[in-house]
Amino acid sequence: MTTVLDLTKEPPDEAELSGVQEILVHHGGEIDLPPLGAAPSLRSLRLNRARVPDLSPLRDLPLERLSVTARDGDLVSLAPHGTLRTLRLASAGTPVSIAPLRDLPRLSGLDLTSAEVADLDVLADLDGLRYLAMRPDQWQASTPPPALAAASLKGTVTLGAAIRWAVGLGGDTGNVVRHSGHVT
């Protein structure tokens, strides 16, 4: 069942959100997140083109997947979060600090391809990270997390450059597979 809500008008009530597990917000305006507290089953939240001034209302939700654009480089209000497993991060304007990701103990997947990141060195501290997607310039400026099991190189690169990148990560290039799309 699909429910369509207009969050730009009246906030949804508890009855509308009680069983909702996934929400997609596609809006160019500012979104107030506290009404989502009425969605105790929310597992996935995608905020596309939405300005979110404060991520702290998400801390008490059982979110496992989040796609968000960080405004003014601030993720501090998201951490700590005990259930978040995958994060697709974009930035608007100011480069975002990913230092608060250290306080996301279950984070295992991270996509930074749409983000300008101020502190890529933090990635080396994310021991639980198993999947990481970044652009070529981000890979060159960072040290991969120690337990990385899968990596994605996003952007326009030649096959030769992609193979050199894989070799740099310690990958076996004997059976090279080229993939386009998303891994979720």
Q: Three-state SS for 167?
A: helix
Q: Profile the chain (184 residues) by mean pLDDT over runs of 10 residues.
A: 62 74 78 79 84 81 89 75 92 88 94 94 95 94 90 88 84 70 65
What is the pTM (predicted TM-score) of this model? 0.85
Structure confidence by residue, pLDDT tens digits, 59-111: 888 999 999 887 765 788 887 888 999 999 988 778 999 999 999 999 999 99
- What domains are defined for the chain? 3-169 (3.80.10.10)
Distance of CA 127 to the CA centre of its chain: 17
Residue 49 has which token pair? 């083109």
C-alpha span between 174 and 161 (Å, rounded): 15
**What is the token pair recorded at 92?**
């608007």
121-125 long-range contacts (CB < 8 A, ≥24 apart) are 122/97, 122/98, 123/98
Task: Indicate the residue type of 174.
Answer: G
Within 10 angstroms of residue 78's Cβ, the number of other Cβ atoms is: 24
